[in-house]
């Protein structure tokens, strides 16, 4: 489970378990896939240990990163509180008032948002849907 899709077990908050729907998405992808298939600009970023380590200080929550919108300053995190919430945030924003972007009740709701975000992205950037980087590192 230690690849770009997941944090190392030693980095996970105690008791955190990745949601089944996320594990199913990961299981459907080869381990060398950087991008979330069919969802440009979203890539797997579950191995961003720094984002998990800094989340408590930045947001007051234990968070587990899993996806990043490349060149969009958006990072999606699972909230590690035993529930299924997802937080979308910009950890690179210097003004803490603008770091927290949106919250979703679960992974499926975030996935619906990501599909819509991807469709809008591809309308503005149709050439990006065919780049090999979206499929393999």
> Per-residue pLDDT tens for 24-71?
999 888 777 788 888 889 998 877 888 888 888 888 889 999 999 988
- Please give the Cα distance from 6 to 2 (Å, whole number): 6
Rounded-to-integer distance, Cα 92 and Cα 98, Å: 10
Single pTM value for the model: 0.87
For 57-108, write each residue's pLDDT tens digit.
888 889 999 999 988 889 999 999 988 899 999 888 888 888 888 999 999 9
Q: How far is CA 32 from the centre of its chain?
A: 16
Q: What is the pLDDT of residue 76?
A: 94
Q: Is the dihedral of CA 22, 25, 29, 33 positive or negative?
A: negative
User: Any bridge partners for residue 76, and if so which?
Assistant: 67, 88
């Amino acid at each position: 489970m230690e690849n770009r899709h997941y944090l190392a077990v030693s980095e996970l908050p105690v008791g955190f378990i990745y949601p089944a729907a996320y594990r199913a998405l990961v299981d459907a992808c080869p381990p060398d896939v950087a991008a979330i298939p069919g969802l440009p600009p979203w890539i797997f970023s579950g191995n961003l240990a720094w984002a998990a380590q800094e989340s408590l200080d930045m947001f007051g929550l234990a968070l587990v990163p899993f996806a990043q919108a490349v060149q969009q300053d958006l990072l999606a995190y699972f909230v590690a509180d035993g529930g299924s919430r997802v937080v979308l945030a910009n950890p690179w924003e210097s003004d803490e008032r603008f770091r927290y972007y949106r919250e979703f009740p679960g992974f499926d709701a975030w996935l619906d948002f990501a599909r819509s975000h991807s469709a809008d992205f591809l309308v503005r950037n149709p050439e990006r849907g065919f780049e090999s980087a979206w499929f393999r590192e």
